[in-house]
Structure 1
Amino acid sequence: MGNGEKHVRNFPLHLPHLHHSKKEVRNIPKGCLAVLVGLGEEQERVIVPVMYFNHPLFMQLLKEAEDEYGFDQKGTITIPCHVAQFRYVQGIIDQENSYHHHHVSCFRA
């Protein structure tokens, strides 16, 4: 697994060596990852906690990304759904984590 691949609950997740500026990388808190969300021209960069990759709702979004793009996405992971739909799922996950007192506040655009 030294080639940038991680396995999240049996979902092989390719984490390529991203070519972002140092400023962009500094804006991502430890334990978080940047994803692109959107369809067509409507795309937004969102910072999400890595632990959310194990949540069933987020895993479904990753499955949709796999169905749309396969496992060979280059660069930032792109989630193929409307930003509003993603924000709704994000809100559910965030609420569940707040309920369990494990709130991580690195969601931001």
Structure 2
Amino acid sequence: MKKLLRRLSRVGDSSQYQPLYRKTKSATGYSRSQSARVPSGHVPVYVGEDADEPTERFVIKAELLSQPAFAELLSQVADEFGYNHSGALRIPCSVSVFEQLISRAVYELEQL
């Protein structure tokens, strides 16, 4: 997994894509505002390196999950942490690396 994260850290600027929405978790929990709803065709993903620290909530297009960059990360997370997990999709990596991953997955999707 470290190898993949290092490789993804070399991907270009992630500010050029739009299918990503973020909401930050507060110390008391997630906000119950309307923006917390997940639009049709999207999936919430919680990202953060440490399970004890607040995570950031991303809402991404579901079709991005099948892109090779994302599929490889999900496979490595499953190998390292196992499949026995209930609840929301949680990815233990830094937010900046995850944003680069999303940028790469969007690029791969646009190339189809």
TM range (shorter): 0.5 to 0.7
Consecutive unaligned residues in structure 1, runs of 5 or more: 1-19, 101-109
Partner of 1:80: 92
Consecutive unaligned residues in structure 2, runs of 5 or more: 1-29
Structure 1 length-normalised TM? 0.61
Whichever structure has more strand as a proportion of its residues is 1
Aligned residues: 81
Any residues of structure 2 matched to 1:37-56 within 5 Å, and which? 37-40=47-50, 41=53, 43-56=55-68
Aligned partners of 2:54, 2:110: CA distance in 1, in Å?
29
Partner of 1:34: 44
Aligned residues with identical type, % of pairs: 28
Name the Cα RMSD after superposition: 2.6
Larger CA deviation: 89-98 vs 26-35: 89-98
Structure 2 length-normalised TM? 0.59
Q: Deviations over 1:78-108 (max 9, x none)?
A: 11211100100111222333455xxxxxxxx
Task: Name the CA shift for 1:30/1:61 in 2 (closer, same or farther; >3 Å).
Answer: same
